[in-house]
Structure 1
Amino acid sequence: MKTRALHITTTSIRVFMILFWAWVALDKLWDLQSFRMALTKQPFPDWWAGILVWLLPLVEMGIVALLAIGSFKIRKLILPDPFFLSAILLTVFTIYIGLGVAGLYAQKPCGCASVLSRLSWGWHLVVNLLLLFLSILGWYLSGPTTPMAKSKRYKKQVVLFPVRSLLLSTPIYAIILERVKKYKMRFAVFPAGPVQFKL
C-alpha cells in the first residue's frame, strides 16, 4: 500500500509539473513581444533579454518533454532528471523574487505567466517556494534511493547475455566461421575406399 501511495504521489507531482511548465512556456511563446518587453525592464543588462526570450521557454519545454518521457530507462542514462532541472530553475526564480521582496530592485516588473503576473511579489515568492518544494519532493520520490525503487530491485540480478561477453564472443565467432568457410571438408559421407583430394 505504501508503494502505491508513493507511485500516485510521484505521478501526481509529475502531471502537475508538466501542466505548470507547459502553461508557463506556452504563455511566454504566445505573447513573445510582451515577454521580451518585460525582460528588458528587468534589472539586468538588455542584451540578456535577447538570449532569455528564447532560452527560458526552450528550457521550460525541455523540462516538460523530460517529465513526459520520465518512465523510459534511457532518460536515466543520457538525460538529467527533470525534477532536478525544475528545482534548479525554480531556485533561480525564487532567489530573484526574494531579492525583489527584500527591496534590492528599484522597480519590480514581472515577466511571468499571465495569472502569476497579477500576484504581489510576496505571494509570488510563496508560490515559487511551493513549486520548488514540489520539484524537490518529486526529485526525491523518483530517484534511485526511494523506498519505491528499492522495493522493485532484486537482490541478485540474473543476466543471461552479459554485454561484455557478447562483445568478445561475436568477433571470435565471426573469425572461426570465416576459417571454416575457407577450408571446406572434402570427403564422402560413407567412403568405400581411400579418398583422393584434388588440389
Structure 2
Amino acid sequence: MKTRASHITATSIRVFMILFWAYVALDKLWDLPGFHQALIQQPFPNWWAGILFWFLPLMELGIVILFSIHSFRNTKHLFFDPFVLSALLLTVFTVYIGLGVAGLYAQKPCGCASVLSRLSWGGHLVVNLLLLLLSILGWYLTGPTAPMAGCKRYKKQVILFLARPQVVRIPVYTVMLERVKKFKMRFAVFPAWPVRDINYDT
C-alpha cells in the first residue's frame, strides 16, 4: 500500500514538474528579446546575459525531456536524474532570490515567467522553496534510497534466490529426509519382516 502511494505521489510530482518547466522554458522562448532585456537589468555582469539567454531555456527543456523519457526516471546517474537537475536549478534561483530579499541588490527587477511576474520577491522565494521541496521529495521517492527501489531490490533478490536449483533442492531434500526419519521412528514398533505363524499346539 505504501509503495503504491509512493508511486502515485512520485508520478504526480513528475507530471507537475514537466508542466512547470515546460511552461517556464516556452515562456522564455516565446519572447526572447524581452527575456534578454530582463537579464540585462539583473544585478550581475551584462556578459552573463548572453550566456543565460540560451542556457536557461535549454536547461529547462532538457529537464522536461529527461522527465519524459522513461529510462531516465529512476536513473542512478545523478547528472541525468531530472529531479536532481531540477533541485540544483531551483537551488540557484532560490539563493539568487534570497539574496535579493535580504537587500543585497540595488535594484530588484524580475525576469521570471509571466504568470509569476506580479509576485513580490518574497513571494518568489516561497514559491521556489516549495518547488525545491517537491524536487527533493520526488528524488527521494525515485532515487537509490526510495521505498519503491528497496521493494524492487528485495523482489529481485528473492527471484534470483529461487532461480538457483541447488539452493531450492537442498532445503527440500533436508525436509524430506527429516520426514523419512520421523516416519521410521514412528512405526519402528512394528516388525520389519514377516512373522512366522508358530503353532504351539503341535
TM over 0.5: yes
Q: Could you tell me which residue of structure 2 aligns to residue 56 of structure 1?
A: 56
Deviation at 1:95, TM superposition (A): 0.3
Deviation at 1:52, TM superposition (A): 0.4
Deviation at 1:152, TM superposition (A): 1.3
Provide the C-alpha distance between the structure 2 equivalents of 1:73 and 1:101, rounded to a whole number of angstroms.
34
Per-residue CA deviation, residues 169-188 of structure 1 (Å, 9 max, x unaligned), is xxxxxxxxxxxxxxxxxxxx
Q: Could you tell me which residue of structure 1 aligns to residue 112 of structure 2?
A: 112
Q: Could you tell me which residue of structure 2 aligns to residue 136 of structure 1?
A: 136
Q: Could you tell me which residue of structure 2 aligns to residue 15 of structure 1?
A: 15
Aligned residue runs from structure 1 range 1-199, under 5 A: 1-71=1-71, 75-76=75-76, 80-153=80-153, 154-155=156-157, 158=160
Letter in 2 for 1:9: T
Contact 2:66 2:72 in 1 (8 A): no
From the superposition, tell whether residues 12 and 74 of structure 1 become closer, same or farther in structure 2 (CA, over 3 Å): closer
Deviation at 1:55, TM superposition (A): 0.3
Contact 1:111 1:117 in 2 (8 A): yes
Please, which runs of 5 or more residues in structure 1 have no aligned partner? Answer: 161-199
- Higher Cα Rg: structure 1 or 2? 2
Please, which runs of 5 or more residues in structure 2 have no aligned partner? Answer: 164-202
Deviation at 1:70, TM superposition (A): 3.8
- Which piece of structure 1 moves more, 81-90 or 142-151? 142-151
Letter in 2 for 1:60: E
Provide the C-alpha distance between the structure 2 equivalents of 1:106 and 1:73, rounded to a whole number of angstroms.
41
Contact 1:39 1:111 in 2 (8 A): yes
> How many residues are aligned here?
160
Contact 2:98 2:125 in 1 (8 A): yes
* Identical-residue share of aligned pairs (%): 75
Secondary structure at 1:155 match in 2: helix
Per-residue CA deviation, residues 18-63 of structure 1 (Å, 9 max, x unaligned), is 0000000000000001100000000111111011010000000000
Contact 1:25 1:61 in 2 (8 A): yes
Moved over 2 A (4+): 70-79
